[in-house]
A and B are shown apart, each in its own frame.
Chain A
């Protein structure tokens, strides 16, 4: 390896990039924009579930119940309907996802200390949304019943009974249960992987298509040096992207890192290198822009999104796919980011993930250089 050669090539590539506004825009601005946009827009939190109520009872108590439902931050009553048929039509349309039906005689049952049935219709198509809504309505009804119970004890002249088991649930790592806290780091991992692998794969496949690689063969520079030189500017751009994204994440979304900043920089450095060497390998193997691009999408975007424990937990997958997650770099980077951002962990806990990423880097780049060597570069 000759550092001066590498420097010369990367300087050339850098000039290209800076002059070519469009590439610069694609390499730097777009990824940042995507991270910020998604960080702001994407959320799996559910609040203000659009709710319909069908009140067949129309009493003081039922109206009070509906008022309480609307006042809670989880539900928003948007339709008061006369019958269930109308509610079903709205569910079909998807304009609301829940209907609460209070049957006639409901108040009477409660006043007579009987169980009063109430029907809840829930649109289950989106399971994530539906199970959260179901959790909320169950908890809401439980809380309502608890009040009724205390009221009952007071009425029957008993002293107040505490619940025997007082479950004090404390949430760790993401105390406010905000989905942004895990979506933002995951988005960073996905976008950086795509951009890193795709940019390098395209840039180098282009060299093959244009025949530049043949010329390089005749120069006193090795193929490996040439490729590293080409990749360095993209490395720097991607690293800047990450740092800006982290900074903005903190300022705009309040996604605060609990652990060391430098550990994050270290992890990003390794991860970006993995992404770039993956791109290099793809382009060396395919030598065609179109194919390189499609393969880069196939091996970066979907795996980083789906097989990385980002939003879809590994535990839920069939065994084969669980095994696949072990070879996806984003799995480890997301694990590290999760540890640094949410758990406040240090290297003593996270070293295995760092180590695997380094291992991937070594393996990928060596395969790439081995192929190059075989081709006589």
Chain B
């Protein structure tokens, strides 16, 4: 093994990478743009439910209903309408999430002691958020009912019921940002290393410089090391910059060990560089390499639990995710950032990442031959 060779090759890669002016913004600005967009946009929080309402009753009781809706910070009555048709129309046009119809005999029925129906239409198109909105609505109605009963019967209704005290751990305010932003590190590192390593090797083949390298005494593993070291350095620089940005700009709490995170990313790089190398061995043009990279990347991204929870996937796909390095690194990153857990808890993920990385890297190196045919 010759360190001079590896050093000179890595040095050459750096010069080439940064000499092309078009690459600079992509290497330096793009990660931050992506981080900003991800950080500000990824949110499935239910914070603001827009309600359209028809109140044909206009009584004290219907006021109580409206008030108890608005007393809950989540709901906001944005539209008052007179005709049911208008109400349905604004629901169709996505102006409101919830449409409430209070009939003319609403109060009379309550005062009579009957059950008084109100119609609530919910926009279910984004079903996950709709479910939460509906659950909130039920809560509001339950509370209202308790108040009304107390008022109607003037009597304490203490019965043996459960008071469920829900304590939310790790991310007490259910901030979407705390969940998504730390994972972006893995996303960026993966995209960068996959693309750049495969391109770096293919470009030499395409331009014809590979031929010149082959007639030199450079060993295949020296070539691989020299080609990947620059991208390891860039990836780690990205990781540090993005992590700092997440902590100081987005105020993501980082409970666990930064050192462990660094170590995990290094293990993760083993897999992504391996896949990048592998792509370079199956492609003959930059174009093929880029397409292959991307079509590798999308499934990795989608089936990683980054956005779509693994627990909600069909069993077959849940099994498939065990082959996805992104799955492990996301569990590790979130564990370190949010839960503050260490190797004691995360060792299965570290181990899997290492084994996966070694297998992928070793088989890519094995495929990688220093000949042109």
Contact = CB atoms under 8 A, between A and B. Distances in A.
Interface residues of B, number: 109
A313 B120 contact: no
A142 B142 contact: yes
Contact of B165 (A38, A120, A177, A321): A120
A181 B138 contact: no
B40 A149 contact: no
Interface stretch (B238-246, B306-314, B356-364): B306-314
B164 A118 contact: yes
Given A145-B161, A307-B37, A127 B166 contact: no
B115 A164 contact: yes
A117 interface: yes
Interface string A271-298: 0000000000000001011110110011
Contact of A289 (B149, B157, B286): B286
Given A135-B135, A173-B124, A317-B40, A163 B115 contact: yes
Contacts of B117: 166, 168
A94 B129 CA distance: 23
Contacts of A297: 191, 294
B46 to A, nearest CB: 6
Interface string A169-200: 11111110111011000000001001000100
B299 A165 contact: no
A217 B273 CA distance: 41
Interface in B187-201: 191, 195, 199
Contact of B152 (A43, A118, A164, A202): A164
A114 B176 CA distance: 37
B348 to A, nearest CB: 8
A164 B148 contact: yes
Interface stretch (B218-226, B229-237, B260-268, B337-345): B337-345
Interface string A87-131: 001011110010000000000011111111111111111111111
A127 B171 contact: yes
A148 B124 contact: no
A160 to B, nearest CB: 11
A16 to B, nearest CB: 13
Contacts of A91: 169
A197 B356 CA distance: 33
B308 A131 contact: no
Interface stretch (A44-52, A229-237, A361-369): A44-52
Given A43-B308, A129-B311, A132-B128, A165 B119 contact: no
Contact of B166 (A125, A137, A290): A137
A298 B338 contact: no
B3 interface: no
Contact of B174 (A121, A127, A139): A127
11 contacts: A26-B292, A97-B311, A149-B161, A152-B160, A162-B115, A179-B127, A313-B126, A316-B47, A317-B41, A321-B37, A338-B125
Interface of B: 22-23, 26, 30, 33-34, 37-38, 40-48, 50, 65, 91-93, 110, 113-132, 134-139, 141-142, 144-145, 148-149, 152-153, 157-176, 178-179, 191, 195, 199, 286-288, 290-292, 294-295, 298-299, 302-303, 307-309, 311-314, 317, 331, 334-335, 338-339, 341, 345
Given A164-B148, A291-B26, A321-B37, 17 more contacts: A44-B309, A94-B339, A118-B162, A119-B165, A120-B166, A128-B176, A137-B166, A138-B135, A165-B141, A168-B118, A168-B120, A169-B120, A202-B291, A206-B287, A306-B37, A315-B50, A321-B40
